[in-house]
């Protein structure tokens, strides 16, 4: 009977102790972290931004300016449904290929995408400015990234590959120097040797590919091509020789023509000289006649003068006796 009375009592005491232990135990488990509305973008899902309207932020964990805009970016992402826009972020350390595809050179960097057309947002990463940028459609006044600058172009795809390779090399260098403790100069020597070996290997691959795709011509075709080449060279030589001979002939004809012209000019000059000499010979005779006419009187003139004098004398004589 005693055992029957104490059984329920012991059970109640144990239950009270368990409740007290539960009240004095550790605090309640922490609430789960609030879900982020910003979508991380990687090289595998970045093509989602080609459809619809997006805003992207490129950041780095060590960048103080990027950390200052984190809260504003989260607030902007929460209101994405109201603004009808998706919000994403890209860690350039983890995704160097995407930073190369968008050619990000400063952090933080913001981009707006509308149906595959990208524009660079250069305003502050403040919620009010971002909201007005979408509501007032200020992005329409910004020149889009077109042509080779577009992240979807073939050029920027190659740039993404280069940035991705450089990021892997940087991670490998950190693994050698930080994790394994290898000196930095040893890591540099390793990369130099690897570059040389890789270059030689690629050259060998190109030579093999060229040998595989090279189709040699048959021997008779090669001989014919050699003969035709020689015939063409001989024909060209003959043409050049003929051209030189024609030039020589034309030069000789020109020289002959010039000589003939010179001779004709000399003959003309000789005839003119003879004519001048004849004129000079005639001119002295005329001068002599003129001198004679001026110096000595003509006999006919003297006789006429004497006749007139005689007539006058006779007239005076006749007049005298009559008077």
Residues noted as catalytic: 63, 66
* Cα 289 from chain centre: 96
Angle ∠(57,91,185) on CA atoms, nearest 5: 140
In the chain, count of helices (H) and strands (E)?
10, 5
83 burial via Cβ count (<10 Å: 0-12, 13-18, 19+): middle
116: left (phi over 0), alpha (psi -120 to 50) or beta: left
Rounded Cα distance, 113 and 40, in Å: 16
Residue among 106, 102, 66, 100 nearest 170 (CA): 100
């Amino acid at each position: 009977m005693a055992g029957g009375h104490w059984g329920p009592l012991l059970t109640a005491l144990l239950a009270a102790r368990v409740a007290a232990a539960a009240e004095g135990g550790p605090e309640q488990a922490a609430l789960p972290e609030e879900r982020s509305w910003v979508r991380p973008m990687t090289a595998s899902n970045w093509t989602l931004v080609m459809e619809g309207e997006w805003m992207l932020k490129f950041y780095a964990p060590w960048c103080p300016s990027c950390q200052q805009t984190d809260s504003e970016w989260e607030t902007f992402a929460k209101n994405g449904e109201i603004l009808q826009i998706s919000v994403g972020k890209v860690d350039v350390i983890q995704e160097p290929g995407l930073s190369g595809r968008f050619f990000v050179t400063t952090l933080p960097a913001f981009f707006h995408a509308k149906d595959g057309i990208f524009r660079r947002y250069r305003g502050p990463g403040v919620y009010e400015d971002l909201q007005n940028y979408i509501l007032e459609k200020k992005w329409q006044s910004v020149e889009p990234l077109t042509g080779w600058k577009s992240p979807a172009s073939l050029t920027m795809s190659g740039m993404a590959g280069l940035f991705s390779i450089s990021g892997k090399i940087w991670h490998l260098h950190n693994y050698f120097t930080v994790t394994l403790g290898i000196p930095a100069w040893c890591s540099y020597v390793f990369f130099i040797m690897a570059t040389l070996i890789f270059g030689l290997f690629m050259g060998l691959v190109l030579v093999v590919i060229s040998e595989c795709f090279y189709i040699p011509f048959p021997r008779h075709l090669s001989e014919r091509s050699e003969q035709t080449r020689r015939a063409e060279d001989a024909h060209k030589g003959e043409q050049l020789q003929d051209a030189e001979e024609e030039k020589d002939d034309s030069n000789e004809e020109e020289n002959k023509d010039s000589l003939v012209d010179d001779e004709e000019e000399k003959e003309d000059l000789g005839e003119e000289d003879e004519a001048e000499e004849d004129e000079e010979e005639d001119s002295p005779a005329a001068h002599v006649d003129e001198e004679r006419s001026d110096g000595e009187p003509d006999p006919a003139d003297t006789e006429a003068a004497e006749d007139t004098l005689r007539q006058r004398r006779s007239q005076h004589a006749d007049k005298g006796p009559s008077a």
